[in-house]
A and B are shown apart, each in its own frame.
Chain A
């Protein structure tokens, strides 16, 4: 091993984590562990230390003893490093293709450790998952067809701050452990002392824990031998399935994992009979990441009402459409009732008058048409509602080459940067894929004429170039309605919560941002294009609300930013996110404010490089105008109500409709 590792037995606290790892060391069929937790909680230290405790992979092979028990999969690994490829050294010498095993081959019968597993590239994840599921790695590339066993314990660590892990990958892990920092000051002191004496003299420190480490290693070995003899009664199996059923887990993996883990736990205790305690000791580890909310949500009045609304929604939509087709006049009437105040200029009216009128309106319309009193309302700054996890939003992948960096949308890139995913015979930018080139040339070496004393003779047709791929951040332009109508009923707090959630998502995807807000008479660019999400969050916190709704101006401003950005980077895919209730009531020209917006929407929808996303903040109430939805239709935008933006809500909707 390269550096001397911190010993496993010297890790203080984190009992659950250690337990989970030890069980997996005894029985790889449990299916690995994913460790979630904040930084600096000894996640990686513990996993790496586990390697020292593992018995040699093959008890007869001496060479195996030397190899470390934990194989690390670096984030920058390429496909052929993971799966294996041609060994060019041997291929050149022998004149036929020789397979060189990759990381998966080395990880066979060991621990495969992925630090920051949530950041791993998707195509590598697929490879690892494939191997983990089948216990073997099948290589079909560059003219080699090869298959070797690859059964390993998959251990991943992640910090949820950097984004979540794909659910499919998450389910593959048998256990999930949440770790957090120690709250006991005594233990923290102990930790400092241990760490310091370790740094001072590694050998001595490791030696002082050698006995304890050996004891654990011995226990693992004994438990491995015991495992095949461990019996479990069938009524305990029933208990397991009951546990899983009551936690609403998806699929059967949880049952199987608990069964294996309980038997392992018994073996680890040195007993050959599984008891109830064995099951309860491991159940939480296996269920933590699989548990789902029970299907009928708790009967809170608010939620059930929401659900009703959602059920009604399709009908309403149909109604809206019918309305649109059947009688545009009706729609006009609707608008006519509510928006003339804005047009005729509220400045001319005494404000008490309007306020009184509003008071009369209020009980009937429950704040849904409060644009009239917008100007009268004092400016307010609303709190930000609790942020949530937003559903994934990204541009579809295509073949265009782009520049930049980030984490949102996957794209091929022309720069000599990004992950090298495959090689191509097409010549583009002299980004030569040496490995692929050599591999292509290798089989012919013995037959080529050597003219200039080179060891490898390359012909033009051997040259391969790299295709690189990376995720790029998009430019997200937030166009936020900050007019008075948004101030009603905590709607702005909810909207701010939604924008905040999008901002956190934008941080995790490394997007660029711009923010436009519109209120009173004009739209302002609060934030020109930047990558500082913090600045955007700060501005959002301080954003005041009040005044009328110059929607047209806001939309136009957002579009201008996108267009300017496109001039600079023609291949970019800016996204305009409009947060509004759609009730425009301040025109720029002399026409009806809504008509202006509709016209503009239709016009800018023609720019195909810009994508739109409308977040409708209109509260479901007695009277719904569905204006935001209508505008979204014209913009060919994706359309969400605030609640639909949440990742789990969407999942729930999908589930409800499919079941």
Chain B
């Protein structure tokens, strides 16, 4: 088989915020995703595809195509076996294999049945039995669901995404089947804001939001060109050259994942987060929760066990841009700290 090389994640020049947001999501999947907003040609897609390289391995029940974890509810596992045409005898544990976490791409033109899953037509005709053909949501369980140009996604597909993102469960209710399987994924979307905004409900499902622009430093731009050229010319050698760095990152992510549960946040810090959100005016409570989680993840990534003020500031920059309350149809705030300053100014002056 011809080896496919992807551009190494660590070789991407600049775009530190985006890289940080993606790495944080690998460490802590409950951050529920990143929305990357920016113009064309700013390494958005490259970065997401490159993630495949640095993703950790997980235990997966290999017999059924639902990416189930071995410690999933036994009843769920049995049901998944049943709709895949097999049976799992009682009191047996299914075979487990190690797989890398997957990046599943959801193309903009995808139809609903490919996303949700549908009845296996061939099997239904041949054997007269209902069997499920799992969709992208099953494939993306415990992995990353990547939607390029997420703002162009068709409305009814968005509805489906929202349903399963909210519940962590995908329900197939069609063609005379009714079946639900777990589907918890990290949603990564890229978009160009010039082509229209996201629906507010979907926007809120992204834990973090980063805004990226083309690099303005000429030296760095040259660097971008050189690396790209080197990669296209000798992909193997190029990947080799960056493999050490990639491994370091993988190791760091692994350490951070282990450290995360023992990271603590002081009550004062939590108060600071709550006040921060109240001050800038944020819709709902998801902002608070995401900031806390992000701050903890950053601390773990830095190898610390306690959250510092700096972590909270960085976390707010990532978690709030798309959550700050705005006038209808106003643009999304790009700089969170400026909002805070202007609100503070309003309070002083008025």
Contacts and interface: CB of A to CB of B under 8 A. Distances in A.
A165 to B, nearest CB: 15
A2 B193 CA distance: 36
B272 to A, nearest CB: 9
A317 B287 CA distance: 55
A438 B323 CA distance: 48
Contact of A534 (B30, B116, B296, B329): B329
A455 B155 contact: no
A647 interface: no
Nearest to B276: A185
Contacts of A196: 289, 292-293, 296
Contact of A199 (B30, B282, B284): B30
A101 to B, nearest CB: 10
B130 A192 contact: no
Counting chain B CB atoms within 10 Å of each CB, the highest count among A181, A199, A419 belongs to A181
A425 interface: no
B270 A534 contact: no
B329 A503 contact: yes
A537 B329 CA distance: 7
Contacts of A78: 173-174
A387 interface: yes
B159 A116 contact: yes
Interface string B63-102: 0000000000100100000000000000000000000000
Interface in B241-280: 261, 267, 270-271, 273-275, 277-278
A131 B291 CA distance: 43
A613 to B, nearest CB: 20
B341 interface: no
Given A2-B169, A41-B285, A434-B119, A76 B112 contact: yes
Interface string A92-117: 10000000100100000000000110
Interface in B122-151: 124-130
Interface stretch (B195-203, B223-231, B232-240): B195-203
A458 B125 contact: yes
B2 interface: no
Contacts of B30: 199
Interface string A473-485: 0000000000000
B304 to A, nearest CB: 17
A159 B159 CA distance: 13
Interface stretch (A83-91, A280-288, A334-342, A571-579): A83-91
B334 to A, nearest CB: 13
B189 interface: no
B218 interface: no
Interface string A181-213: 111011011011101100110000000000000
B112 A434 contact: no
B166 interface: yes
Contacts of A89: 128-130
A593 B112 CA distance: 53
Contact of B125 (A40, A192, A195, A454): A454
B286 A40 contact: yes
Contacts of B289: 191-192, 195-196
Interface in A493-539: 500, 503-504, 507, 510, 530-535, 537-538
B270 A2 contact: no
A161 interface: yes
Interface string B93-120: 0000000000000000001100010010
Nearest to B286: A40
Nearest to A93: B128
B178 interface: yes
Interface in A137-188: 159, 161-162, 181-183, 185-186, 188
Given A185-B274, A407-B155, A533-B329, A116 B162 contact: yes
A159 B201 CA distance: 8
Nearest to A12: B285
B130 A434 contact: no
Contact of B285 (A81, A116, A182, A535): A182
B176 A87 contact: yes
Contact of B331 (A81, A88, A500, A534): A534
Given A78-B174, A435-B175, A41 B196 contact: no
A88 B126 CA distance: 14
B328 A387 contact: yes
Given A417-B111, A458-B125, A504-B329, A181 B156 contact: no
Contacts of B168: 2-3
Contacts of A38: 283-284
A532 B261 contact: no
A583 to B, nearest CB: 29
Contacts of A530: 195-196
A186 B270 CA distance: 9
Interface string B186-224: 000000011111011100100000000000000000000
B163 A115 contact: yes
Contact of B159 (A48, A75, A500): A75
B33 interface: no
A162 B53 CA distance: 38
B73 A2 contact: yes
Contacts of B282: 181
Contacts of A438: 124, 176
A39 B125 contact: no
B292 A192 contact: yes
A106 B321 CA distance: 42
A271 interface: no
B182 interface: yes
Given A81-B173, A434-B119, A41 B274 contact: no
A200 B264 CA distance: 12
B274 A532 contact: no
A76 B201 contact: no
A320 interface: no
A180 to B, nearest CB: 9
A42 interface: yes
B284 A39 contact: yes
A405 B285 contact: no
B329 A510 contact: no
Contacts of A387: 328
B52 interface: no
B171 interface: yes
B306 interface: no
A127 to B, nearest CB: 14
Contact of A116 (B111, B119, B201, B288): B201
A42 B159 contact: no
B119 to A, nearest CB: 6
A181 B283 contact: yes
B154 interface: yes
Contacts of B340: none
B344 interface: no
Interface string B281-315: 01111111100110010000000000000000000
A241 interface: no
A414 interface: no
A19 to B, nearest CB: 19
B159 to A, nearest CB: 4
Counting chain A CB atoms within 10 Å of each CB, the highest count among B159, B171, B204, B284 belongs to B284
18 contacts: A40-B283, A42-B285, A72-B171, A74-B160, A75-B156, A115-B162, A189-B271, A456-B125, A470-B155, A470-B156, A504-B329, A507-B328, A530-B196, A532-B194, A532-B196, A533-B197, A534-B193, A534-B197
Interface of A: 2-3, 38-42, 44, 48, 72, 74-78, 80-81, 85-89, 92, 100, 103, 115-116, 119, 159, 161-162, 181-183, 185-186, 188-189, 191-193, 195-196, 199-200, 387, 405-407, 416-420, 434-435, 438, 453-456, 458, 470-471, 500, 503-504, 507, 510, 530-535, 537-538
Given A40-B283, A76-B174, 5 more contacts: A103-B178, A159-B200, A185-B278, A192-B274, A510-B155
